[in-house]
Chain A
Amino acid sequence: MSELTTKTIAELRDGFRAGDFSAVEVAEQFNAAVVAARSLNAFTVETPDAALAAADAADEARAGGEIRPLGGVPLGIKDLFATEDVDTTAGSKILKGFKPRYESTVSDKLRSAGAGMLGKLNMDEFAMGSSNETSAYGPAISPWQRNDGGNSALTPGGSSGGSAAAVAAGIVPGATGTDTGGSIRQPAAFTGICGIKPTYGRCSRWGIVSFASSLDQAGPLARTVRDCAILLEAMAGFDAKDSTSLELPVPPWEASLSSDLKGMRVGIPTEYRIDGVPADIDALWDRGVEWLRDAGAEPVKISLPHTKYALPTYYIIAPAEASSNLARYDGVRYGLRVDGDSGLDGMYTATRAAGFGAEVKRRIMIGTYVLSAGFYDAYFTKAQKVRTLIKQDFRNAFNDCDLILTPTAPSAAFGLGEKTDPLAMYLNDVFAVPASLAGLPAMSVPGGLDRQGLPLGLHLIGRELDEQGVLNAALAIEERAGFTARPEKWW
């Protein structure tokens, strides 16, 4: 029984149901693949026993005639999700040793659906980063390499970098991610896989370490559109423990998948054509338009006039919320404590100085400043007003179209250590952030390779709650792009 690790989640699920293999066989093969790929630094913790225990339970249930939706499927869980009795650090030194006594709602739903956990996945510290380089564990490394014969290590993107690297390398069939301003979609694009951020409120935030609460959303990363639909169905749903959870039924996204886009209008936003984007990406965008036309959709030009203000708006709102959320790391209730030289306040400041990395400190400082007396209205209230305008842009655009197609990121994956300027790093999310600010469902699907042999993604943005439209258009692209490239194994 070889090569179970090359199967998609749908194939694993269906093969397990049909009795072609056992869940334990699947778990053992993925456990071995995880160990063999340690040079990717994709995991912060490996949990082979948890994967085997879930597989055992799935096999036993199958013998008794009970098959759960994700029975026989092992997954990777981003280190931002609280996992019961398993280290949960958000990629930060300040949460070192933290073993929650509870399980996040999303990972608990996956567990209840029968999925096993292969381990916790590396990420940028507190999800603040676009390259996984801010992780206290060092960066996860992309399985992809440039075709120039060199072997410089590339970023898998961020912040869900470990999730993307692990899925792309085939050491997990799927993984959870979170997306505050592109953290699922940009890594998916960089590693040639799929990733979807649902409408804000679809997935419970309970038990997910908070970064920017008005933006944070969980979603899956997997190799195919169908696999994303399967995982999202298991992850989404109302949760009374999250005050912004949407009290709506979870639609049957997988069963309703259809790549027939007849009658759909796909908006192409003029403002996303920006200077400095490689020609390969613009060319892929044009091909994407043709693929959707071929599937029956009608392309229409649209305008999202406040696009250029989305990133600066995000870099006020996200740090402001982060500075409040991260106030809880004070050396008292969990994680690191460093005794300073002067009482309680000295302990707070020494703990936070030692526990947070440079990017997290930078964002806490920005957030503290824009919320401080005298600057609150000029920065924070102003940003919230511009956020209203960005939301209105989308609302207006959706009068003329049903979906929006853009590139996912303004470049292919870059080398680790290549981007040192924080602002240059922020610009990575220029196409991803507007949908986050508007709370809209958005997805990256692989479109092709650039001239260096690196994957590029196409990005679909849908109306509020229209995950189905996003998934269907992604499926139409997937069927036409014929993206079968896989990274050559070097790890």
Chain B
Amino acid sequence: MSVNTEQVRHIAKLARIAMSDAEIEALAPELNNILGWIEQLAEVNTDGVEPLTAVIDQKLRLRDDAVNDGDCRDAVLVNAPLAEHGFFAVPKVIE
């Protein structure tokens, strides 16, 4: 499978990265080079093999359903590029 510039443009849109036409043109062959290389996995027989989801076997722990953190609004907001009235501020979304 290989990607064309239209697909690269679509992936960039999904990834929320603005790209110029020139960047997309340059990226397409690079991505194809990498994708072509990873496609060698197709030759491995994985019939009946379970996908690995936990590299070291362990049970997912549960904790009591109780508040153990919070009351730190100002600390959370302190690194925001823009915060107003105790909230993160973003460009206008609703007209």
Contacts and interface: CB of A to CB of B under 8 A. Distances in A.
B91 A334 contact: no
A309 B45 CA distance: 12
Contact of B18 (A240, A337, A353, A464): A353
Interface string A345-363: 1111110110010000110
B17 A386 contact: no
B67 interface: no
Interface in B1-27: 1, 3, 7-8, 11-12, 14-19, 27
Interface string A231-252: 0000000001001101100000
B34 A382 contact: no
B81 A369 contact: no
Given A344-B93, A388-B50, A422 B34 contact: yes
B86 interface: no
Interface in B22-42: 27, 30-31, 33-35, 37-42
A433 to B, nearest CB: 13
A348 to B, nearest CB: 5
A349 B16 contact: yes
Contacts, number: 164
A264 interface: no
A199 B52 contact: no
Interface in A379-401: 379, 381-389, 391
B38 A356 contact: no
A308 to B, nearest CB: 8
Interface stretch (A114-122, A310-318, A479-487): A310-318
B91 A423 contact: no
B63 A240 contact: yes
Give the one of B15, B27, B81 with max A CB within 10 A: B15
A98 B54 CA distance: 31
B4 to A, nearest CB: 12
Nearest to A388: B52
Interface residues of B, number: 51
A201 B93 CA distance: 41
Given A315-B38, A385-B50, A388-B50, A365 B15 contact: yes
Contacts of A364: 15, 17
B75 to A, nearest CB: 4
Q: Looking at chain B's contact residues, is the secondary structure mostly helix, strand, loop, or mixed?
A: loop
Contacts of A366: 31, 34-35
A365 B31 contact: yes
A201 B17 contact: no
A389 B61 contact: no
B56 A346 contact: no
A391 to B, nearest CB: 6
A372 interface: yes
A51 interface: no
A381 B82 CA distance: 39
A390 to B, nearest CB: 8
A387 to B, nearest CB: 4
A46 interface: no
Interface in A138-190: none
A439 B55 contact: yes
Nearest to A373: B14
Contacts of A353: 17-19
Given A99-B78, A309-B44, A385-B49, 13 more contacts: A100-B79, A101-B79, A199-B56, A246-B56, A335-B81, A339-B91, A344-B92, A344-B93, A346-B18, A349-B17, A365-B31, A366-B35, A369-B35
22 contacts: A101-B72, A247-B61, A306-B44, A309-B40, A327-B16, A332-B90, A340-B18, A343-B93, A347-B90, A352-B17, A353-B17, A361-B27, A365-B27, A368-B11, A369-B7, A369-B31, A372-B11, A375-B1, A384-B53, A385-B44, A385-B46, A389-B49
Interface of A: 97-101, 199-201, 214-215, 240, 243-244, 246-247, 306, 308-309, 312-313, 315-316, 323, 327, 330-337, 339-340, 343-350, 352-353, 356, 361-362, 364-366, 368-369, 372, 375, 378-379, 381-389, 391, 422-423, 437-439, 464
